[in-house]
A and B are shown apart, each in its own frame.
Chain A
Amino acid sequence: MTVYTLYIFDRNGTCLYYTEWNRKKQPGMSKDEEFKLMYGMIHSIKSFVHRIAPTDLRDGFSNFRTSRYKLNFYETPSGMKFIMTTDLTVGNIRDILHQIYSNIFVEYVVRNPQCELGQPITSELFQTKLDEFIRGLSIFPTRIS
């Protein structure tokens, strides 16, 4: 069970935060291009799912899987998008992404008067708390890879 990367986007498409733990392949483009491509893909998937859905959807798109990784997605009602890529063995981690939002993002970024919304997050406290939280999850590998 492994967590590869985490992206946080705001409702305008700005990448507020990116971190990687066990990523083995870089996409061969600059970080800015990768963020734009990721946001664009997620936006298109959301719109695609909404149009092709045969029944009404409550929450919309939640995750997709390829042969090598799983991309998990969670969007808050305010438009903050949390994207976590993991390996294939993890189950539904919507709750975990919700906890990242409510216990870490809201506490250490939104409530921080020095953190400007819409700007990339530079708070070290946020980075530490997030890292601690992720490493403590059962889906994170305990052996050194």
Chain B
Amino acid sequence: MGIFSVFIINKAGGLIFQYDHYSQRPEVEKTFSFPIELVLKQQDEKLVVAFGERDGIKVGYTLMGVNGIPVEGRFLQNDGTDAMEIINSPHNYPINLKFGRTKLTTNEKIMLASMFHSLFAIGSQLSPEPHSSGIEVLETDGFKLHCYQTMTGIKFIALTDPRQGGVDALLRKMYEVFSDFALKNPFYSVDMPVR
């Protein structure tokens, strides 16, 4: 699917720009009878599957709907009842729950960006060879994360398909475009989010 998303991190570790380029989000809707075998836990205001992966619902999926009513964080959107209470009481069953992988919120992206900023530095510190840079490519089986750090400490990060080539050229081009349109703009202050 090519490039999934792009992040720009300033030298202090703060996220200054982010762009998402993927739209497919797996969603699974299933009817359950009491007791459900999934273990849900609260992570950052969302209810996330922690254990008990089955039938296409994987660990990390967020609860998105109960009986057709969308869920915001932990509570139902229409009347604000706690979704965990509904799931834990047997008289609401059989119940229809929708799980899926939701888009990351801006706060989560800022947090993940600063997390990567520190991991990048630790990667350089733990090197068995002298004069190592930080993490340049991080590979998993589902995506590859490429990072290009400029001389001024700004990191350009791209999440891509593992088979995607030419990402280094893309990151350098992005640096060029950034310096042309953001840095040369007299109204832009350095290290601030890019509008």
Contact = CB atoms under 8 A, between A and B. Distances in A.
A54 to B, nearest CB: 4
B119 interface: yes
Contacts of A37: 122, 125-126
A25 B140 contact: no
A63 interface: yes
A110 interface: no
Contacts of B5: 54
Contact of B128 (A49, A59, A85): A85
Given A45-B119, A54-B5, A62 B141 contact: yes
Interface size class of A (residues with CB under 8 A): 35 or more
Interface residues of B, number: 38
B142 A58 contact: yes
Contact of A60 (B112, B141, B159): B141
A66 B138 contact: no
Contacts of A85: 127-128
Interface in A1-19: 4-5
A50 B58 CA distance: 12
A69 interface: yes
B115 A66 contact: no
B132 A67 contact: yes
B135 interface: yes
Contacts of A27: 125-127
Interface string A51-77: 111111111111111111101000000
A109 interface: no
Contact of A57 (B108, B123, B128, B141): B141
A105 to B, nearest CB: 22
A45 B159 CA distance: 15
Contact of A54 (B22, B115, B123, B141): B22
A112 B139 CA distance: 35
B140 A59 contact: yes
A64 B112 contact: no
A122 interface: no
A57 B119 contact: no
Contacts of A31: none
B44 to A, nearest CB: 9
6 smallest CB-CB distances across A and B, nearest first, come from A68-B132, A4-B128, A67-B133, A68-B129, A54-B4, A64-B138
